[in-house]
């Protein structure tokens, strides 16, 4: 009997997780920023599933792991609250609304593909996406370019991408290596290295930097 | 085909540090190398992906999956791009704590973050300049510049929500082009 109740409780928790993330899904527009405020409201304030401290852990993990911050946050919270099943349910639930919206867009675009004004609208959106990428680059710049070596790394990355056929994989592999090398060299030279943007400089919004797109 | 779609997006998902914009160029490269989309088709995919909520990389995966293999393709490509995130986040959450106070971890990200910045800058350059068939000085280029500049002003100065910016720019596109 006890076991039966535990199962019922587990399934209920999974259902709640699913509902919560299904609702959050559509608000992940434009990336992590807006989403983290929504998450905090839903998970910390409304449901009391996690406290502020756990939220901070969540933000650091989901910003560092590959992938979009929304999906990573869902995986983290889902796992904490419901184990692997919880993580899978939360990730599926946060992805589903977007998946449906994208599918509809895809259908619509196929139907109206050759309509002149649809092409014009898409062209406008394309210009807006370029602007959003520039904004993302600018914000990421603020939290990543801390000194001359980081500036050189970023400039080198752009130059390599522009002028050589290098695959991004090697750049991403090279990042941590360069980072560790620079920090070690600087230490050896007796210099102090700041590896992160100082907390004091950051306002609260910067706390969930920029990285999360 | 389905298996290949899945596998390509698993690979992309595993190195998608910095989220969507940083991997756009990588997706384009993988997709064009396999003949799944031409440069101009890819531009269209990016515009559509930008119109929906969620990561632009995941949305692009869904769209490419659809175009290549219908619903099954869309589902597999989407799962493929998300799966590495799920596995990595669960593993990190289960095994770790306070990775971010570890020196090696900090140094790694000190080096990785500027790389991601570079990838995003390149994506902006690439999508700003690439895939055009028109001459440089044309109504189309001027219109694009105008909309991009307007969107930048709206987002940075007036903190307009990205969705509002997308809707406005679609309207602007209809008027201008």
Q: Does A9 fall in a domain? A: yes
Percent residues over pLDDT 90 in chain A: 35
The conformation of residue B55, written as its DSSP 8-state character, comes to: -
Q: Does A166 fall in a domain? A: no
pLDDT at A31: 57
Q: Is the dihedral of CA A183, A186, A192, A197 positive or negative?
A: negative
Per the structure, the count of domains in chain A is 1
B55: contact with A, CB 8 A cutoff: yes
85-144 of B, contacting A, C-beta below 8 A: 85-86, 88-90, 92-94, 97, 99-100, 103-104, 106-125, 127-128, 140, 143-144
pLDDT digits (tens, 9 = 90+) for A128-144: 989 988 988 888 888 88
Residue A42's nearest CA partner among A61, A18, A68 is: A18
Backbone angle region of B43, left / alpha / beta, with phi > 0 → left and psi within -120 to 50 → alpha? alpha
B78: contact with A, CB 8 A cutoff: yes
B28: contact with A, CB 8 A cutoff: no
Q: Does A11 fall in a domain? A: yes
Closest-CA residue of B relative to A128 is: B148
pLDDT at A202: 45
Q: What is the mean pLDDT of residues A171-180?
A: 92
pLDDT at A200: 44
Contact between chains at A128 and B110 (C-beta distance less than 8 A): no
pLDDT at A198: 61
Backbone angle region of B130, left / alpha / beta, with phi > 0 → left and psi within -120 to 50 → alpha? beta
With 70 as the cut, is the pLDDT of residue A34 above it? no
Q: Does A45 fall in a domain? A: yes
Rounded to 5°, angle at Cα A19 from A16 and A24: 125
CA B148 to chain centroid, in Å, comes to 17
Contact between chains at B44 and A75 (C-beta distance less than 8 A): no
The two three-digit tokens of residue A205, written as one number: 């919004």
Rounded Cα–Cα distance for residues B134 and B132 (Å): 6
Burial of B62: CB neighbours in 10 Å, binned 0-12, 13-18, 19+: buried
Rounded Cα–Cα distance for residues A179 and A57 (Å): 23
Q: Does A177 fall in a domain? A: no
User: Considering CB atoms only, which of A84, A156, A172 is closest to B17?
Assistant: A172
* Alpha-helical regions (H) of chain A: 2-24, 32-39, 52-64, 69-111, 116-144, 148-163, 168-188
CA–CA min distance A86, chain B (Å): 10
Closest-CA residue of A relative to B27 is: A168
Q: Whole domain around residue A25: which residue ranges?
A: 2-125
Q: Does A134 fall in a domain? A: no
The conformation of residue A45, written as its DSSP 8-state character, comes to: I
Contact between chains at A123 and B177 (C-beta distance less than 8 A): yes
Q: Does A42 fall in a domain? A: yes
Interface contacts A/B by beta carbons within 8 Å: 371
Cβ atoms < 10 Å from Cβ of B175: 12
Mean pLDDT by 10 residues, chain B (177 residues): 93 87 89 89 88 88 93 95 94 74 83 91 85 68 91 87 87 90
A43: contact with B, CB 8 A cutoff: no
Q: Does A144 fall in a domain? A: no
Q: Indicate which of B39, B120, B159, B160 best probes the interface with A, i.e. most A CBs within 10 Å of its own CB.
A: B120
């Amino acid at each position: 009997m006890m076991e039966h109740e535990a199962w019922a409780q587990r399934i209920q928790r999974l259902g709640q997780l699913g509902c919560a993330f299904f609702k959050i899904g559509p608000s992940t527009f434009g990336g992590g920023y807006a989403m983290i405020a929504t998450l905090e409201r839903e998970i910390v304030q409304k449901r009391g599933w996690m406290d502020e401290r756990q939220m901070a852990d969540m933000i650091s993990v989901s910003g560092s792991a590959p992938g979009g911050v929304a999906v990573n946050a869902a995986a983290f919270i889902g796992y904490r609250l419901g184990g692997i099943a919880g993580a899978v349910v939360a990730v599926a639930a946060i992805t589903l609304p977007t998946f449906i919206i994208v599918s509809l867009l895809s259908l619509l675009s196929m139907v109206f593909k050759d309509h002149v004004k649809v092409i014009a609208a898409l062209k406008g959106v394309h210009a807006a996406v370029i602007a959003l990428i520039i904004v993302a680059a600018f914000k990421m710049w603020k939290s990543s370019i801390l000194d001359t070596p980081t500036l050189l790394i970023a400039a080198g990355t752009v130059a390599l991408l522009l002028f050589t056929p290098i695959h991004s994989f090697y750049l991403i592999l090279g990042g941590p290596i360069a980072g560790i090398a620079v920090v070690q060299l600087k230490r050896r030279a007796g210099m102090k290295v700041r590896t992160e943007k100082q907390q004091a400089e950051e306002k609260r919004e910067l706390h969930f930097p920029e990285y999360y797109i | 085909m389905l298996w290949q779609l899945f596998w390509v997006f698993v690979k992309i998902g595993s190195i998608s540090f910095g989220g969507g914009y940083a991997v756009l160029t990588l997706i384009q490269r993988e997709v064009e190398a396999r003949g799944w989309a031409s440069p101009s088709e890819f531009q269209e995919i990016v515009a559509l992906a930008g119109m929906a909520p969620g990561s632009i990389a995941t949305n692009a995966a869904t769209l490419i999956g659809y175009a290549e293999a219908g619903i099954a393709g869309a589902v597999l490509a989407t799962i493929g791009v998300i799966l590495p995130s799920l596995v990595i986040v669960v593993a990190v959450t289960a095994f770790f704590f306070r990775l971010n106070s570890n020196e090696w971890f900090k140094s790694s990200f000190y080096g990785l973050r500027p790389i991601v910045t570079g990838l995003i800058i390149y994506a902006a350059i690439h999508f700003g300049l690439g895939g055009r068939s028109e001459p440089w000085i044309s109504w189309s280029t001027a219109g694009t510049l105008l909309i991009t500049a307007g969107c930048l002003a709206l987002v940075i100065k007036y903190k307009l929500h990205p969705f509002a910016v997308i809707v406005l720019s679609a309207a602007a596109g209809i008027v201008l082009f």
